[in-house]
Structure 1
Amino acid sequence: MTTLSFTKGHGTGNDFVLFSDPDGQIDLTPAQIRQLCDRHFGVGADGVIRAVRSKSIVEGAAILAEEPAAEWFMDYWNADGSPSEMCGNGIRVYVHYLIEQGFITPERRDTIPIGTRAGVKDVLPGVSGYTVDLGRWRPGGEYLVNARGLRVSRPGLGINLGNPHVVTVLSGDAKLDGLDLSQEPELGPLPEHGANVEFVVPEEPLLKDGVARIRMRVHERGAGETLSCGTGAAAAALAFRHWGGDQMPNSWSVEVPGGRLGVRMFPTEEGEHVSLSGPAALVYSGTVELA
């Protein structure tokens, strides 16, 4: 048996088991990750995050070549034991964990570079949460989406934020609330590495004080339906802006079952970036025995 010290955290209900392994000496197996994330027989979570220094993980070599200041790597694993490229809620919770554990002590308004399998992401601590620059986004093609509760397949737009998403818009709250996402939605064509699938509707009114407002539910690849998905919220705002045309703003408020997230699109020298803002919380710490 392996005894693991852990902390439970969440960002708008998207929850994670975090543990410290600065020198990269603890390699959990997919079975152990599934055990940790099991909500009946384990701690329960949408994913597991290992706090490891970039120099101590194979993927960290490319990270340090890109940004030598990216000391820490977010080693993120889905609840089914598969690795994931990025997690918008997870990276905010991860930076909060690093600060609370004393691994980093940023000054006010310091941006913290964090290594991920999708490259370096810059995180800015704030008064009421954290903002992460998710970087450049890319369109990911068109799909047909089918899910329990939909009579016919709906068109979906692919958005890549380092991890893949497919977003589809529904006609109203009743359609959104009536979805059964206990079963993975069907996508055609099937993406090579799967995708997170977001279903979105506009709030009423859509525009308020220059900010567009939408509601979203999500089925996450490797986790099932979750209360929130940070990169999914960004993908939903990007897709809705695409469908809405030039009159759509670059500031968005996205309501998810676990709370509300802010999304903003902004120009950079290398192209348009998108940022995600929201809270991060650590709930409790403990130890667990792993087979």
Structure 2
Amino acid sequence: MSRTLPFTKGHGTGNDFVVVADPDGVVDLSAEQVAALCDRHVGIGADGLLRVVRSAAIDEGAEAAASGVEWFMDYRNADGSPAEMCGNGTRVFTRYLVESGLASIDDGLRIGTRAGVKTLTRSERGYEVDLGTWRIEEGETLVRARGLDVSRPGVGIDVGNPHVVVALSSHTELDALDLAYRPILDPEPRGGANVEFVVPSDPLVRDGVGALRMRVFERGVGETLSCGTGVAAAALAVRHWAGPAAPDRWQVDVPGGTLGVRITTEADGEHVLLSGPAVLVYSGEVALA
């Protein structure tokens, strides 16, 4: 037996999502159903699914609900697995809430995620999300990827979800990567990680803004045109490598467009903020098995 499921398709710099409105938490999608919806051959096609649910209607939203946050972003990867956060997804999620009349962003909008409550505001690029504090993981991870002659060292960056960032020597080397195959990490982080390959610009800084180019393999998805938290992690890694004189504002080019990153100092430590566009492409209905 099948039923009809309304949805909206959206994207942020090509990182695309199926958005499902479920305010009261009555749509129980299995991992197999999410994977089928995200399948690019026989489904709608997307890098992941965003379920729009009230914080009080999902167990993982209890802390957000207790702090007065109405909406929770239940993000699932394209393979159906849940993920802690999605930077591009927060902007698409917010755009959907605003366009649907479910929330206002005039004074900032707080949304719940598995990585805690995130605040979004409007920006010149579209929307900006405060991803919160971040940290560098101890130790070094060796990354082996098809198209690289030898394994390369990577630095672990946690921005609410796990990343390993690898610096490459040239755009030619970046373009030669075959990310149809999952990079091998040694040691493999518990729960896996997104892997970003970056080439810093030359010169690195212009007018006080750092710049770099990036490709990404997302955990549970594969290569995507963009990864918001990955962009933030990449900028933080290059800033770390560049030393104390490195800027706090960055521009990151990904295959799907350009995103902005800035770092601010708050009472609880450094926060990383991500800005970029959010586009709602179309809405429809799909038969859900």
TM range (shorter): over 0.9
Displacement of 1:127 in angstroms is 4.8
Distance 2:91 2:35 in 1: 22
Question: How many angstroms apart in 1 are the aligned matches of 2:270 and 2:9?
Answer: 34
Give the partner amino acid of 1:99: V
> How many residues are treated as equivalent by the alignment?
287
Write the distance in 1 (CA, Å) between the matches of 2:195 and 2:123.
Answer: 29
Matched, 1:154 2:152: yes
1:114 lines up with 2:111 in the alignment = yes
1:35–1:290 contact (8 Å) kept in structure 2: no
Q: Residue 136 of structure 2 contacts residue 156 of structure 2 at CA under 8 Å; is this kept in 1?
A: yes
User: What secondary structure, in the 3-state scheme, does the structure 2 residue paired with 1:89 have?
Assistant: helix
The residue that corresponds to 1:262 in the other structure is: 260
Looking at structure 2, the residues matched to 64 and 286 of structure 1 have their Cα atoms a distance apart, in angstroms, of: 30
SS of the equivalent of 1:176 reads helix
Q: Which residue does 1:78 correspond to in 2?
A: 77
Per the alignment, residue 47 of structure 1 pairs with: 48
What is the alpha-carbon distance in structure 1 between the residues aligned to residue 237 and residue 160 of structure 2? 16
* Aligned partner (choices 109, 130, 134) of residue 133 of structure 1: 130
Measured in 2, the distance between the counterparts of 1:283 and 1:46 equals 15
- Residue 222 of structure 1 pairs with residue 220 of structure 2: yes
- Structure 1: tracts of 5 or more residues without a match: none
Q: Which residue matches 2:251? A: 253
1:26 equivalent to 2:27? Answer yes
Measured after TM superposition, the shift of residue 202 of structure 1 is 1.2
User: Aligned equivalents of 1:126 and 1:272: distance in 2?
Assistant: 20
Kindly, what percent of the aligned residue pairs are identical? 63
Q: Deviations over 1:135-179 (max 9, x none)?
A: 000112320011000010000000011100000000010000000
TM-score, normalized by length of structure 2? Answer: 0.98
Q: Distance in 2 between matches of 1:126 and 1:263?
A: 12
Residue correspondence of structure 1 range 63-74 to structure 2 within 5 A: 63-65=64-66, 67-68=67-68, 70-74=69-73
Which SS does the other structure have where 2:80 is aligned?
coil
* Displacement after TM superposition at 1:75 (Å): 0.4
Question: Normalization by structure 1: what TM-score?
Answer: 0.97
Matches of 2:154 and 2:125, distance apart in 1: 33
Matches of 2:122 and 2:235, distance apart in 1: 22
Range with greater deviation from structure 2 (199-208 or 7-16): 199-208
Render the CA deviation track for 1:77-107: whole Å, top value 9, x for unaligned.
Answer: 0000100000000000000000111101333
Judge conservation of contact 1:14–1:229 (CA < 8 Å) in 2.
yes
Given the alignment of the two structures, is residue 2 of structure 1 paired with residue 3 of structure 2, yes or no?
yes
Distance 1:128 1:239, change over 3 A: closer
Contact 2:87 2:227 in 1 (8 A): yes
CA distance in 2, matches of 1:252, 1:280: 19
**Amino acid in structure 1 at the alignment position of 2:80:** G
User: Partner residue of 1:90?
Assistant: 89
SS in 2 for 1:235: helix
Which of the residues 205, 208, 219 maps onto 1:207? Answer: 205
Q: Distance in 1 between matches of 2:43 and 2:62?
A: 33
Deviation at 1:208, TM superposition (A): 1.1
CA contact (8 A) 2:87 2:228 kept: yes
Aligned-partner Cα distance in 1 for 2:62–2:123: 29
Cα distance in structure 2, aligned partners of 1:185 and 1:119: 28
Q: Which runs of 5+ in 2 are unaligned?
A: none
Distance 1:106 1:132 in 2: 12
C-alpha separation in 2, matches of 1:126 and 1:246? 27
SS at match of 2:137: strand
SS at match of 1:59: helix
My pick for the range that moved more, 133-142 or 155-164, is 133-142
Q: Which runs of 4+ in 1 moved over 3 A?
A: none
CA distance in 1, matches of 2:284, 2:65: 32
Cα deviation, residue 206, structure 1: 1.6
- Aligned partners of 1:195, 1:40: CA distance in 2, in Å? 26
